[in-house]
A = this chain, B = another copy of it.
Amino acid sequence: MKEWWDLQGKTDMWKFCFAIPLLTIFAGALIAQTSQPGAAPASTLKLMPMPSMMQTATGELPVTNTFSIALKGYTEARLERSSQRFMRELAGVTGLSIGPGTTDTSKPMLVATTDHASLPIQEVSEDESYTLDVTPAGATLHAANPLGTMHGLQTFLQLVQVTPTGFAAPSVHIEDTPRFPWRGFMFDSGRHFTPMDVLKRNVDGMEAVKLNVMHWHLSENQGFRVESKAFPKLTELGSDGLFYTQAEVKEIIEYARDRGIRVMPEFDMPGHATAWFVGYPQIASGAGPYKIEREWGVFDPAMDPTNEATYKFLEKLLAEMTALFPDAFFHIGGDEVNGKEWDANPKIQAFMKAHGLKNNNALQHYFNEHVEKILEKHHKTLVGWDEILAPGLPKESVVQSWRGQDSLAEAIKLGYRGLLSFGYYMDLMHPASAHYGIEPISKNAALLSDDEKKRILGGEACMWSEYSLESLDSRIWPRTAAIAERLWSPQSTTDVESMYVRMAAESRRLEALGLTHRSNENRMLRRMAGQEDIAALRTLADVVEPVKEYDRENLHGPGSLSTPLDRVIDAVPPESDVAREFSADVDQWIAGKFQDAALEKKIRAYLVRWSQNHEELAPLFQSSFIVAEVEPVSQSLSSLGAAGLQALDYIDKGTAAPQDWIAQQEALVKLSQAKKADLLLMVGAPIQKLVEASGLSAK
């Protein structure tokens, strides 16, 4: 899967991947999106993911508090709940007092027709398509089964916007079906436990952007998180009391099913399992005793694949867990076994020799084969990370690739089905554009035959939870919407600018669903400031980003459960919208040869605010140890603001800035770009451009 030392050597590969979209983003044509003359341009509709086919038309359907929905055709309790949720969400995105007592059910404005039931246990390739027509007189939604109906309802909610005359949905004809059948999101509830309410609101978010698999990483070195009746010590001794009861697991599965989402559990084995061994050391390869790991990283403990007791244990546990989780797929992790306990155990070494197992890889595959047989008995398909790939792995298995499209292609070529998670790790703090640019069918995967490509089921965004607690939502949203679009929409949907506009709208809608990715930031900033006025702290927070990938650890050594997660890095979103927009403004102003006065005014206003901000923030350096940590970043920002202002003055005067001044400012910019307090100041590059321009050009 991943730990920072694994990716150390791969940083260049990441950069390479992220460079691709920057070169190709404007090449994708929105071929299937057409507009009637006078209709709203397709690009103004804030849909995300973009539908596979869409035609806009003139007019719009007003949405008032008499709005009601009618279900026709096949129906079931889940659809009823879905339509009630739709009404609540419609109230949420408009603020209208829509509901019992106001809606006019005699004249439904949205009629949703469903042909038949979906499968009792949702399967990976079920029909999720729907057709949605909106006209000024009303809207009709049609789908084969409830999955499509629920998707269509979310699309309708995205259509509703504030207009000059009221809330309304524009006239449109949509025929929509996903590109990939497996669009997942992985929650790591192993490292930091995820409370039920946090899971639920994030599942709401998944439904909003049409993700359909909740991959639930439930066991780790730091905790075994599901109640086992067969092996109660798994949670009694291995969870710090932080685990899901079986009733809670069922509640989540039901909650997800209600939103068209499958739940696939992951029990990571034979490594990443220290927490299991606290209660059951007999299945481990070392002598024990074991205790729950408190740091992050790869640890030595691993199950003993040579011990029959291990398989007896797993048979009983997996019988229980495969019954608890109805999904056809079962993830066994399989990543990052360092083999040290195996090497150190003479019995294991003797066994390997006796059975001709040449190395630890072979031993792990011996283990996997046994586990696979147990799963097969319970009619489950095995899923694992890249490392499970080896001769003898049954062809039905699914390989989830954190290594990349080439690694994915390798698994596909061998006849397996595959999922891409490379490039979709939310905890690495990359911008949405980077995730958006990760195309599953690219590089070696693009060279596969059409039949082979069909075995690429889709992908999964992953949220590893070492460094997220109250900031979890802001690490997930809204960027995950970009990945959801990559996996749902046509491959040609690649316009980054349009993506950012639509993602901002979806971000507002996600807030209405109860997600806290925006609201939490101010709350945290007020807390660290110890006061209500956070204007200056906010100005700074708006232009910094957390350090990327595993730099937080690189700067401090392996993190742990005790790493404070209450700092500025924890409050700010992974991506600075202000910096991105300021940078675009500067580019545009320079490209326009400094003629756009309104743009210059806007740029100058930012620079003035930044140049004065350090002084305004100063009192908090004295009163709050947390704000004090970012003093050097604040100092840099004000220096950059001043440099930018001077550059503007040179440009306005039409005299080229002196070379020594330019050199000084460039040194300043360079200085500003060093990591401080785990933060990256994101406006160095555009300021550098202004400084350069002030030396070269006269207005």
Contacts and interface: CB of A to CB of B under 8 A. Distances in A.
A85 interface: no
A95 interface: yes
Interface stretch (A140-148, A303-311, A455-463, A556-564): A556-564
A562 B628 CA distance: 50
A195 to B, nearest CB: 10
Nearest to A88: B195
Interface string A543-577: 00000000000000000011111100010000001
A162 B519 contact: no
A689 to B, nearest CB: 23
A626 B162 CA distance: 8
B95 A470 contact: yes
A444 interface: no
Interface in A272-306: 292, 294
Interface stretch (A258-266, A386-394, A525-533): A525-533
A214 to B, nearest CB: 21
Nearest to A523: B511
Interface in A102-136: 102
A625 interface: yes
Contact of A532 (B95, B292, B577, B622): B577
A507 interface: yes
A693 interface: no
A164 interface: yes
Contacts of A97: 469, 561-566
A300 to B, nearest CB: 20
Contacts of A449: none
Nearest to A521: B519
A101 B530 contact: no
Contacts of A531: 504
Given A532-B507, A625-B163, A240 B561 contact: no
A93 to B, nearest CB: 7
Contacts of A8: none
A2 to B, nearest CB: 22
Number of copies: 2
A100 interface: yes
A65 B511 CA distance: 30
A219 interface: no
A299 to B, nearest CB: 15
A101 B565 contact: no
A562 B65 contact: yes
B532 A504 contact: yes
A566 B95 contact: yes
Contacts of A519: 516, 519-520, 522-523
Given A65-B564, A566-B95, A522 B518 contact: yes
Contacts of A527: 93-95, 162, 508, 512
Given A162-B626, A240-B101, A622-B164, A95 B528 contact: yes
A162 B526 contact: no
B512 A624 contact: no
Nearest to A84: B241
A529 to B, nearest CB: 8
A628 B566 contact: no
A203 B590 CA distance: 56
A564 B166 CA distance: 11
A565 B95 contact: yes
A623 interface: yes
Contacts of A504: 531-532
Contacts of A577: 532
B532 A101 contact: no
Which of A240, A470, A523, A527 has most B Cβ within 10 Å?
Answer: A527
B164 A561 contact: no
Interface in A594-650: 622-626, 628
B94 A566 contact: yes
A144 B94 CA distance: 50
Contacts of A530: 161-162, 505
A698 interface: no
Nearest to A168: B625
A237 interface: no
B95 A570 contact: yes
B526 A511 contact: yes
A101 B626 CA distance: 23
A163 B529 CA distance: 10
Contacts of A94: 527, 566
B623 A162 contact: yes
Contact of A522 (B512, B522, B561, B624): B522
A207 to B, nearest CB: 18
A420 interface: no
A96 interface: yes
A65 B565 CA distance: 11
A249 interface: no
B623 A561 contact: no
B511 A96 contact: no
Given A241-B100, A504-B532, A562-B65, A625 B95 contact: no
A199 to B, nearest CB: 15
A70 interface: no
24 contacts: A65-B564, A92-B470, A94-B566, A95-B524, A95-B527, A95-B564, A95-B566, A97-B561, A97-B562, A97-B566, A100-B241, A100-B242, A101-B240, A101-B561, A101-B562, A102-B562, A161-B530, A162-B625, A162-B626, A164-B622, A508-B526, A512-B523, A518-B523, A532-B577
Given A95-B566, A100-B242, 12 more contacts: A95-B528, A96-B564, A97-B566, A101-B292, A101-B294, A101-B561, A102-B561, A102-B562, A507-B532, A508-B523, A508-B526, A508-B527
Interface of A: 65, 92-97, 99-102, 161-166, 222, 240-242, 292, 294, 469-470, 504-505, 507-508, 511-512, 516, 518-520, 522-524, 526-532, 561-566, 570, 577, 622-626, 628
